[in-house]
């Protein structure tokens, strides 16, 4: 156990003793609960990775001591509760609650859980590259310093592949939370509160990367995970007549102390148009990959609510948050004009609700802004290529975060009582997302909602709702796929095929660079279609009905149908989710529950594959 936990456990012990003694002194104490000691056991055959994915009791076969304790104790105005459930070394829950006359409250939770992580065998990476000249694909290694195509023999690569496949990728997550609140008798309308949360993740995960041209040279290594997230909160809630105001401050610190996965990226040896392929790379050689930077976050939030005597309420919320992560470039690859990337979030929202006769009306609106990282990146290897006239890259190049945006939201909901036990709900929502990066566009969404909820009689009730969304310019990539699909030549014998035929173009060795056809000056700029999995229209209907003929029987049927599409990119997705649940208690000593859900989803989307030079 980390040293940093010790002060917390010491505090808990003192508090527990104080509570017990205080309760005993204050008056008659009522205590109940149970204590249990037991043995848990687990055994698996074949692969445990899916059947025991979220580890039940333990990840390895064997027996564990499994004690549990539940305790509740009450006295005049005060209480203490303790729940501990230990099923194995990494399947544990502990909870403690303490209330001293509503003046001081303390809550503590601890839980530990193991998770088997995905372990890709990379066989699918070799789907289109089985004819590689140097041997079978993929080439996988768990050794960070070798794995060079050309220096590995096939046997060595296969041996490393087998070694990597034997790794058990398991991560243990532990979370410790504590919350306290203090309401002084001399200041009864103000409650001070503070809290902490410590989350750790330890173990190993699979880290995958690839060298040079596409997925020919795939590498997977074990990446050590040693993450720690510390949250501390401090705030106060004040009640001043009909006005309630709450302020909270959160500071978060994230650190990753695990060793990074490392790979010796391959250096291509071919020469095209008089230029070494390796000179076209922005990095090669030994590099860390799948690096998680350390980061910090500070958030201030203020919420206010005013409850008017007529049943109307007005609430407002303001949030300001700043995230900073360490990022200073990578030696040998690139450098940045900063040592950290910062992102600031600021939001302000208002909500009002009132009742006018049989109509309950609520209106809400607000705006938030994300000011994401903005920096210059320098790629030294680009400068080595400046003698070639097709070089059009800026170096250093300005980068604007795709997160940066201004968002405006507005919504109105009305609930009208049509008859006894029957209500009609109508709603409208508007959202405008204006991204700073102009190429990503401005998305405008209109949402219309209608729902009827009814209790027809004591036995039968139900709800039916429908939602329609009209989305203008959804998040998408412009001209990111479909080389030559708009202005190129098409082949009538092969629908879907299109190409450019460039005269006076060169692609072979020993030619001058002028007129040479490369991925970046011809192939990539030749992409003419947009791509997205975001819809521009959505229809969604939900239905549920419950029949409860008696207190010992109830049946519910429900279904959800969602249809979304975006014709401009040939995207379409239909979702159908019906289900039923049933409860029956034929006698006071027996009850049965049954639930069934079916989920079917069909998706269509246009996909393109480029072809050039083999």
Q: Between residue 577 and residue 596, which ones bind other proteins under the rule CB under 8 A?
A: 588-596
Positions 99 through 118 that interact with other proteins (CB under 8 A): 118
Chosen residue from 261, 529, 538, 566 binding other proteins by CB under 8 A: 529
Scanning the structure block, which residue is given the tokens 């680009």?
A: 382
What residues from 45 to 84 belong to the interface with other proteins (CB under 8 A)?
45-52, 56-57, 66, 68
Closest separation in Å from C-beta 19 to other proteins: 17
Q: Compute the distance between CA of residue 372 and CA of residue 375 in angstroms, rounded to an integer.
A: 10
Q: Are the beta carbons of 181 and 105 closer than 8 angstroms? A: yes
Least distance to other proteins, CB of residue 41, Å: 5
Q: Name the minimum Å distance from CB 202 to other proteins.
A: 22
* Cβ distance to other proteins smaller for residue 117 or 193: 117
| 471 in Cβ contact with 443 (< 8 Å) | yes
CB of 218 to other proteins, least distance (A): 12
Q: How far apart are CA 139 and CA 137, in angstroms?
A: 5
CB of 292 to other proteins, least distance (A): 23
* Coil, strand or helix at 280: helix
* For other proteins, the closer CB: 185 or 495: 495
How many whole angstroms separate alpha carbon 100 and alpha carbon 115? 38
Q: Which is nearer to other proteins, 286 or 595 (CB)?
A: 595
Residue list 489-518, contact with other proteins (CB under 8 A): 489, 491, 494-511, 515, 517
CB nearer to other proteins: give 135 or 285.
135
604 near other proteins, judged by CB under 8 A: yes
Beta strands, E only, 273-327? 275-276, 285-289, 295-307, 313-326
Nearest approach in angstroms of CB 170 to other proteins is 15
Which two tokens mark 384? 């080595």
> Closer to other proteins at the Cβ: 310 or 590?
590
What is the nearest approach in angstroms of other proteins to the Cβ of residue 459? 24
Sign of CA dihedral 481, 486, 492, 498: negative
Q: Does 237 bind other proteins (CB under 8 A)?
A: no
Among 35, 187, 359, 418, binds other proteins (CB under 8 A): 35
The total of other beta-carbon atoms located within 10 Å of residue 176's CB is: 21
CA dist 335 and 408 (Å) reads 35
Nearest distance, CB of residue 521 and other proteins, angstroms: 12
Looking at the Cβ atoms of 458 and 613, the one nearer to other proteins is 613
> Quick one: which segment of 94-102, 247-255, 327-335, 605-613 binds other proteins (CB under 8 A)?
605-613
Token couple for 482: 């479909």
Considering only 25, 155, 419, 607, the residue that binds other proteins (CB under 8 A) is: 607
From the list 432, 427, 511, the residue with the least C-alpha distance to 465 is: 427
Q: Which is nearer to other proteins, 7 or 494 (CB)?
A: 494
Residue 351 CB, nearest distance to other proteins (Å)? 36
Compose the 429-468 pattern: x for residues touching other proteins by CB under 8 A, - for all others: ----------------------------------------
Binder of other proteins out of 9, 10, 13, 33 (CB under 8 A): 33
CA distance 518 to 206: 33
Contacting other proteins (CB under 8 A), which of 9, 17, 27, 124?
Answer: 124
Q: Does 128 bind other proteins (CB under 8 A)?
A: yes
Residue nearer to other proteins on the CB measure, 120 or 432: 120
Q: Which residue's CB is nearer to other proteins, number 419 or number 590?
A: 590
Distance, CA of 314 to CA of 352 (rounded, Å): 4
Whether residue 203 contacts residue 124, with contact meaning beta carbons closer than 8 Å, is answered with: no
Q: Among residues 249 and 507, whose Cβ is nearest to other proteins? A: 507
In this complex, which beta carbon is closest to other proteins, that of residue 251 or of residue 511? 511
> Alpha-carbon distance 298 to 250, whole Å?
6
Residue 98 CB neighbour total at 10 angstroms: 23
Environment class of 19 (CB within 10 Å of its CB; exposed 0-12, middle 13-18, buried 19+): buried
Cα separation, 546 vs 461, whole angstroms: 5
- Block residue for tokens 């700043």: 322
Tell me the number of residues near other proteins by CB under 8 A: 99
Burial of 147 (0-12, 13-18, 19+ CB in 10 A): buried
Shortest Å distance, C-beta 357 to other proteins: 44
| CB neighbours of residue 389 within 10 Å | 12
Q: Which stretches within 80-153 are classed as H helix? A: none
Q: Is the dihedral of CA 472, 474, 480, 483 positive or negative?
A: negative
What does the buried/exposed string (b/e) look like for 193-218 if buried means 16 or more CB atoms within 10 Å of the residue's CB?
bbbbbbebbbbbbbbbbbbbeebbbb
Grouping H, G, I as helix, E, B as strand and the rest as coil, residue 407 is: strand
Nearer residue to other proteins within complex by CB, 317 or 608: 608
By beta-carbon proximity to other proteins, the closer residue of 358 and 496 is: 496
Q: Count other Cβ atoms within 10 Å, centred on residue 566.
A: 21
Query: Closest approach of Cβ 319 to other proteins, in Å?
Result: 37
Judged by CB, which is closer to other proteins: 7, or 596?
596
Considering the complex, state which of residue 273 and residue 471 has its C-beta at the smaller distance from other proteins: 273
CB 614, min distance to other proteins, A: 3
Joined together, the tokens standing for residue 87 give 């099923």
DSSP per residue over 160-190, as a string? HHHHHHT---EEEEEEEEEEEEE--TTSTTE
Site for other proteins in 131-160 (CB under 8 A): 131
Kindly state the smallest distance separating residue 46's Cβ from other proteins, in Å.
4
Provide, rounded to whole angstroms, the least separation between the CB of residue 382 and other proteins.
Answer: 23
* Residue 266 interacts with other proteins (CB under 8 A): yes or no: no
**CA-closest candidate to residue 392, choices 488, 530, 540, 513:** 513
Under the binding rule (CB under 8 A), the answer on residue 606 touching other proteins is: yes
Closest CB 158 distance from other proteins, rounded Å: 15
Decide whether 28 or 43 has the Cβ nearer to other proteins: 43
Site for other proteins in 365-394 (CB under 8 A): none
**Choice from 6, 30, 127, 184 touching other proteins (CB under 8 A):** 127
Say if CB 266 and CB 148 are below 8 A apart.
yes
* Closest approach of other proteins to the CB of residue 383, in Å: 28
Check residue 310 and report its DSSP letter.
Answer: T
């Amino acid at each position: 156990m980390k040293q940093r936990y010790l002060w917390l456990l010491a505090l808990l012990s003192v508090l527990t003793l104080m509570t017990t003694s205080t309760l005993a002194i204050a008056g008659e104490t009522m205590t109940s609960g149970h204590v249990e000691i037991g043995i848990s056991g687990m055994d698996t055959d074949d692969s445990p990775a899916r059947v025991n994915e979220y580890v039940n009791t333990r990840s390895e076969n064997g027996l564990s001591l499994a004690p549990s304790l539940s305790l509740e104790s009450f006295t005049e105005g005060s209480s203490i509760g303790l729940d501990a459930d230990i099923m194995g070394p990494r399947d544990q829950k502990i909870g403690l609650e303490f209330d001293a006359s509503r003046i001081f409250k303390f809550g503590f939770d601890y839980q530990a859980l193991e998770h088997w992580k995905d372990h890709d065998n990379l066989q699918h990476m070799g789907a289109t590259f089985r004819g590689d000249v140097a041997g079978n694909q993929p080439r996988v290694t768990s050794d960070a310093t070798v794995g060079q195509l050309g220096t590995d023999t096939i046997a060595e690569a296969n041996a490393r592949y087998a070694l990597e496949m034997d790794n058990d990728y398991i991560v243990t997550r532990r979370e410790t939370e504590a919350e306290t609140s203090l309401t002084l008798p001399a200041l009864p309308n103000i409650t001070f509160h503070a809290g902490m949360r410590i989350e750790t993740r330890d173990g190993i995960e699979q880290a995958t990367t690839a060298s040079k041209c596409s997925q020919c040279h795939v590498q997977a290594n074990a990446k050590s995970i040693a993450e720690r997230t510390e949250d501390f909160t401090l705030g106060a809630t004040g009640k001043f007549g009909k006005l309630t105001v709450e302020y909270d401050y959160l500071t978060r610190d994230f650190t990753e102390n695990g060793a990074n996965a490392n790979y010796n990226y391959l250096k291509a040896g071919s020469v095209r148009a008089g230029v070494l392929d390796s000179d076209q790379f922005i990095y090669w050689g030994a590099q860390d990959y799948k690096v998680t930077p350390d980061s910090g976050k500070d958030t201030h939030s203020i919420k206010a609510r005013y409850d008017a005597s007529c049943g109307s309420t007005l609430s407002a919320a303001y949030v300001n948050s700043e995230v900073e992560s360490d990022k200073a470039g990578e030696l040998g690859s690139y450098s940045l004009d900063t040592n950290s990337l910062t992102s600031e979030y600021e939001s302000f929202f208002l909500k009002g609700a009132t009742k006018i006769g049989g109509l309950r009306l609520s209106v809400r609106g607000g705006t938030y802004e994300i000011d994401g990282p903005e920096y210059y990146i320098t790629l030294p290897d680009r400068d080595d290529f400046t003698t070639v006239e097709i070089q059009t890259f800026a170096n250093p190049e300005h980068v604007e975060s795709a997160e940066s945006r201004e968002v405006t939201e507005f919504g109105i909901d009305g609930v009208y009582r049509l008859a006894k036990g029957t209500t009609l709900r109508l709603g409208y929502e508007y959202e405008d997302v204006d991204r700073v990066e102009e190429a990503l566009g401005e998305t405008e969404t209109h949402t219309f909602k209608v729902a009827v909820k009814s209790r027809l009689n004591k036995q039968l009730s139900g709800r039916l709702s429908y939602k329609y969304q009209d989305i203008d310019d959804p998040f998408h990539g412009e001209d990111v796929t479909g080389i030559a699909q708009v202005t190129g030549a098409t082949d009538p014998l092969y629908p879907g095929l299109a190409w450019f035929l460039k005269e006076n173009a060169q692609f072979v060795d020993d030619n001058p660079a002028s007129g040479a056809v490369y991925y970046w000056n011809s192939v990539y700029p030749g992409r003419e279609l947009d791509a997205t999995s975001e819809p521009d229209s959505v229809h969604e209907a939900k239905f549920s009905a419950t029949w409860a003929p008696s207190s010992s029987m109830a049946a519910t049927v429900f279904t959800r149908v969602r249809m979304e599409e975006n014709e401009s990119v040939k995207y379409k997705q239909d979702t159908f989710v019906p289900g039923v649940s049933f409860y029956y208690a034929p006698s006071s000593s027996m009850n049965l529950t049954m639930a069934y859900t079916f989920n079917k989803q069909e998706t269509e989307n246009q996909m393109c594959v480029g072809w050039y030079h083999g």
